[in-house]
Amino acid sequence: MNTPDMERAQQFLAANARVLEWRKFERLFAGGEAAPVRDAVAAYRNPDGGFGHALEPDGRCPDSQPAATEFALRTLHQADAWDESLAMGACGWLAAHAPGEGGAVFVQPSIEGWPHAPWWVPEEGNPPSVMPTGMLAGTLHARGVSHPWLDRATALMWSRIGTLDKPGPYDIYGVLWFCEYVPDRERADKALGRIRKLIFDLDLVALDPQAPGEVHFPLDYAPLPGSAARRFFSQQVIDAHLDHLAASQREDGGWTFNWPAWSPAAERAWRGFKTVEALHVLRANGRL
What whole-number distance in Å separates Cα of residue 160 and Cα of residue 175? 9
Cβ(256)–Cβ(274) under 8 Å? yes
Contact indicator for 50, 69 with CB cutoff of 8 Å: yes
First-to-last C-alpha distance (Å) of the chain: 11
Residues pairing with 116 in the sheet: 59
Residue 256 region, left (φ>0) first, then alpha (ψ -120 to 50), else beta? beta
For the chain, give every domain's residue range.
Answer: 1-16+217-288, 33-204
Query: In Å, how far are 163, 180, 263 from 118, measured between CA atoms?
Result: 28, 30, 11
Give the CA radius of gyration of the chain. 18
Angle between helical axes of 66-78 and 84-96 (0-180°, round to 10) = 160
Look at the chain and count its residues.
Answer: 288
What is the pLDDT at residue 266? 98
Each of the 288 residues of the chain gets a pLDDT tens digit; together they read 688 999 999 999 999 999 999 999 999 999 999 999 999 999 999 999 999 999 999 999 999 999 999 999 999 999 999 999 999 999 999 999 999 999 999 999 999 999 999 999 999 999 999 999 999 999 999 999 999 999 999 999 999 999 999 999 999 999 999 999 999 999 999 999 999 999 999 999 999 999 999 999 999 999 999 999 999 999 999 999 999 999 999 999 999 999 999 999 999 999 999 999 999 999 999 999
DSSP code of residue 230: G
On whether the CB atoms of residues 5 and 254 are closer than 8 A, the answer is: no
Which amino acid appears at position 114 of this protein? W
